[in-house]
Amino acid sequence: MRVRTIFLRGALTAALLGTALGLAAGSKEKEPAPHFTAITTTGEKFNNDSIKGKVALLEFWTTWCGYCVEEAAFVDKIGKELAPKGLILLAIDVGESKKTVKKYLEQHPRDCKIVLMEDTDLAAMYQATVYPIYVVIDRDGFIAGEQRGAGGEEALRRLIARTGISSHDDDSNSDSNSADSR
């Protein structure tokens, strides 16, 4: 009787472990990015089809967000640096008037594509209620990662790297590492 109890407990444990592992493996499935349209303040139009084959970084921000102001410079720098590798940076201002954003950008210029909430449905799709929020969409149109709240430059670079795009710094480190191993 004791052997049977031990056997049943072992079988039950194995079954539960197998189920847990299966669920963990299944949860890593890629989620497709929701269908969207966005028009920049300069009139450029973007949607799922137009970003196919590229990596899109969506930055949700506001003019009153102190973290957004602090992170804007390196977000723009990363956007410019990685554009030749296929990165599209769309900075989506959430819930503010065109006049407010225009006045803000006169004092704090951005070096990226600006989208106003009235020209897209992205803020609702990604439940943009805290700022900044970063969402990365890979070349195949799947969500590669999301970061809610400020995390600094290195955290943003790691988020983008999930798509296979690495920064110049990462490339030079891997080159020096491979040279060291020779």
Q: Give the domains, in start order, of the chain with CATH numbers.
A: 31-176 (3.40.30.10)
Angle at 174 between CA 172 and CA 180, to 5 degrees: 105
Is residue 138 predicted with pLDDT exceeding 60?
yes
Express each pLDDT in 52-86 by its tens digit.
999 999 999 999 999 999 999 999 999 999 999 99
pLDDT digits (tens, 9 = 90+) for 1-57: 554 444 434 443 444 334 333 434 444 578 999 999 999 999 999 999 999 999 999
> Token match 């954003």: residue?
101
Write out the DSSP string of 104-158.
HHHHS--SSEEEEEEEESHHHHTT--SS-EEEEE-TTSEEEEEEES---HHHHHH
pTM equals 0.77
Nearest to 48 by CA among 58, 61, 59, 63: 58
pLDDT at position 29: 75
